[in-house]
A and B are shown apart, each in its own frame.
Chain A
Amino acid sequence: MSEETKKTKIGYYPGCAITKCSTSEEYGTSVLGVSRVIGPELVEIDDWNCCGASSGHATNHKLSTALSVRNISLAEKDGYDEVLAPCPMCSQRLIVSQDDVEKDEKLREEVEDAIEMPISNNVKVSNYLEIVKNYSMDEIAEKQKKKPEGLKVASYYGCLLVRPPKILKFDDPEDPKTMDEIVTAIGAEAVDWEFKTSCCGGGFTLSRTDVVVKLTNDILEGAADAGANAIAVACPMCHANLDMKQNNIEKETGRRFNIPIVYISELIGLALGLNPKDLGMDKHFIDTGSVINAFSNIEK
């Protein structure tokens, strides 16, 4: 592999939520579809496994760390300097685990023993927003085919992209801007709103529906009050809660938001003129037609 190709190839870690045939596969599909047009080239890491999130890190720290670190070591073995984990649960787990083994010599030895591979920690783990911002902003401008009209987007980051700030060191943890920059770049209006990093209820979606309904209601209300007609996300968990709970909210409060929740990768895809179906936009609970129809060809 030459230096040049090594640099532009990035290890792709899908994780369980967005890989083919999973609950949020449209996120993965659109990320890959978009990268084929504007780069960087994404190559799936061979033999990847669970990132150790959810039940993993809630019950066994060592197991969860080992699961996480194994993926990074695999990526390193394949020769990647950088790994993209589009799901923030994955990217956060991977980065925090890197930090954990960096700080704890004993844990590092135990993990190396368990995964039967050395840990070098030279691989940079990035979330999807970082990848777009660092590699593809110029390409978006170059290859953009469609422009949205009247599309007001509330960029919703959720908690995992920016927290814990000391370890992730990504954007302003209270008022992040990266997604807004991307939204603006494709010609949509990024609305200024208050709930960018509020909690969506995360994994409580089944066990404490009451809590999740309240939290998602606050977020949707905040977006609607700020004038947004779509919410952009970069997290399958956020997407699921905001997209699925709008019916429950209607039952509880009588208010029907009907705000489409779209992945930022889908928005970029639409701007690049990709087929909405190929981006997985038919797989949402709330109809995304209004977003798709907002885009029309740029006259050249």
Chain B
Amino acid sequence: MSKKIGVFVCHCGTNISATVDVEKVAEEAKKNNPGVSYTTTYKYMCSDPGQKLLRDKIKEEGLDGVVVAACSPKMHEHTFRNASKKAGMNPYHVEISNLREQCSWVHPDKPTGTEKSVDLVRMMTEKTRKDKSLNPIKVPVTKRALVIGGGIAGIQAALDIADAGHEVIMVEREASIGGHMAQLSETFPTLDCSQCIMTPKMVELAQNENITLYTWSEIEAVDGYLGNFDVKIRKKARSVDLDLCTGCSSCWQVCPSKKIKSEFDMGLGKRTAIYIPFPQAIPSKPVLDREHCLLFKDARKKNIPPNDSKVCRKCLDICPIAPVKAIDYTQEDEIITEKIGAIVVATGYKELDDISMYGEYGGGKYKDVITGLQFERLASASGPSEGEIQRPSDGKVPEIIVFIQCVGSRDPAKGCSYCSKTCCMYTAKHTMLYKHKVHHGHAYVFYIDIRCPGKGYEEFSLRAIEEEGATYLRGRVSRVYKKGDKLVVLGADTLTGSVVEIEADMVVLASAMKAQDDAEKFAQKLSIQYDKDKFFSEIHPKLKPVESSSAGIFLAGTCQGPKDIPETVAQAGAAASKVLALLSADELEREPVVAKVDRLPAPIFSTCIGCFYCQRVCPYGAIESEDIKARDGSTIKTVARVNEGLCQGCGLCAATCRSKSVELAGFNDEQVYAEINSVEFN
């Protein structure tokens, strides 16, 4: 029985109708096409009356197939499928013919545009004719979320989810949560102390009964799919039993290895081998750095188990916990598996720390050329100089300090073309912090542009210049070199057209925010996409800013791109709300547009030859292998199978399959050939 198809051509105001004769398109759709029983045009099909028109005509005309000739299916396919569902039709009999993005917007000529539109509509009509009813796939939901990364983004997302009553597992690879925000001295544009606003949240997280915290732990593998992830977590050997340890501090006070560069202080301060990264750390319990610990070094050298080495056991000896001590040199990595419904990725950023790539600024060569985060540590009361601005080489208070902006940002020649967004503001803040601490000192800033597009940001930056007296010079620095104990900064002031030479005591590079070193590998582990700079990609830059390319995995904070604290917190809240929406249902409905590997009766079973090319091209890890077994349990053949929960319907497998065994629902070969043939024969 042939379908009764309705064609609805949208004017889209004048977006389509200015370059396409929509009336003619509707008329032609009907010509020589007995299947098309109704055609019309309407000014805005997506409007309420437009949708009502669609619903009414489906009922009145008894349509069982619909072509809406309008904008991209990405915009309104969902709208029109919903409308048809309300009218009692299976929504997968609705097809969109894209007359806007793929025709009227790109062709200026009306006759050609109209001709192409007629073709496009005919193609979709032919496809619609072969549409089959599809039903949403239902999947159960594990009501528990995983948050990866314990910086401000992860903490905010975890708290929001936990406060709504759901269980949260947080995994942080460092010894403490807190991330980069815990390292900052003050925050712009209010100059409130970062730790003062951060630590209450850290404590709240630690005390929240719904949250299980794994620090010093990393994600090993993520399997499963939306609502039903199986996550393997590697709890790295901490050498300290968190249940027994009281955080009394005895061990790190007696540790003899006191000269290890502190990661938290960006290498400016020192720490011991058994340590907590900073005083407000959560958990406030140490971790033993096996790389630098004398005992482990000795054991490695002698190739003996660490417990057999007798070089130094000071931390164990002093540990007051009895009868079993909290320190355990024999601890090994432990892998645990957790069932998870939804994931928030909040793995943060890394500051450009290889400043030796900026040899012209003396990066990596001079101790007194430091990065932005290093300056934060210098200015922080908990930092290596307890908040006094001292230059690293000799501890002298710098009287002239030069800030160079856009180091590693906006520099395509060095492979970083993007703007790191936060540096203009943090440099303005740095000049103020410096001025507040060194009243007689003078700060110079070399900038390309001053970008302050936030609430109170412009005023903040003007305050640095007008009230706090920082000298802003618009231009680049060509060279920094040492002359005696000064750093000579050569630069251009493009506003006066002159060359500037400043003899400074210290130079601060506004280093870029970069993706984490292992971002690429991590994204592959989670099957989420990333951009050219290795930041994780959202599905839609405007309308789906927190959704990753894999269903059920959301992005928060700087792992998705450079952003400041307010924006990070907002995005984390958004990611949490998406997770909550997911966890609020007992079952999830998924789009049935998924691939399927054929199954046939014996003795063929499947035309799949088991080459697994599909597995290699699948970006979502959705192809599994299945053994087809005989009655005696022996394997007859091994074929591919699509995990419907993971499949996103991209169709790569279907296109790759050499034996044509994979079919994408709603896009099968018959439909695609029907589309193509409808053009060729005219």
Contacts and interface: CB of A to CB of B under 8 A. Distances in A.
Contact of B360 (A174, A195, A225): A174
B449 to A, nearest CB: 25
Contact of A175 (B359, B413, B482, B483): B359
A194 B481 contact: yes
A49 interface: no
A172 interface: yes
A195 B360 CA distance: 11
Nearest to A165: B413
A247 interface: no
Contacts of B365: 175
Contacts of B360: 174
A194 B359 contact: no
B414 to A, nearest CB: 11
Interface in A197-221: 198
Contacts of A194: 481-483
Interface string B356-379: 000110000100000000000000
Contacts of A198: 479
Interface of A: 166, 172-175, 194-195, 198, 222, 225
A190 B563 CA distance: 46
Nearest to A193: B481
Contact of B481 (A172, A173, A195): A195
B486 to A, nearest CB: 12
14 contacts: A166-B413, A172-B359, A173-B359, A174-B359, A174-B360, A175-B359, A175-B365, A194-B481, A194-B482, A194-B483, A195-B481, A198-B479, A222-B481, A225-B483
B366 to A, nearest CB: 10
Nearest to B360: A174
Nearest to B501: A218
Interface residues on B, range: under 10
Contacts of A195: 481
Interface in B348-362: 359-360
Interface in B465-513: 479, 481-483
A299 to B, nearest CB: 38
Contacts of A166: 413
A244 B433 CA distance: 49
A174 B362 CA distance: 9
Contacts of B482: 194
A175 B360 CA distance: 8
Contacts of B483: 194, 225
A178 to B, nearest CB: 15
B417 to A, nearest CB: 15
A193 B185 CA distance: 36
A267 B482 CA distance: 28
B481 to A, nearest CB: 4
Given A174-B360, A198-B479, 8 more contacts: A172-B359, A173-B359, A174-B359, A175-B365, A194-B481, A194-B483, A222-B481, A225-B483
B171 to A, nearest CB: 40
Contacts of B481: 194-195, 222
A170 to B, nearest CB: 15
Contacts of A222: 481
A225 B479 CA distance: 18
A225 B482 CA distance: 11
A-B pairs, top 6 by smallest CB distance, nearest first, are A174-B359, A194-B481, A174-B360, A175-B359, A194-B482, A172-B359
Contacts of B479: 198
Contacts of A175: 359, 365
Nearest to A173: B359
Interface in B324-363: 359-360
Contacts of A225: 483
A51 B492 CA distance: 33
A128 B483 CA distance: 30
Contacts of A173: 359
Interface string B622-647: 00000000000000000000000000
A212 to B, nearest CB: 15
A25 B628 CA distance: 84
A246 B483 CA distance: 21
B440 to A, nearest CB: 28
Nearest to B365: A175
B364 to A, nearest CB: 10
Contacts of A172: 359
A70 B190 CA distance: 65
Interface string B364-403: 0100000000000000000000000000000000000000
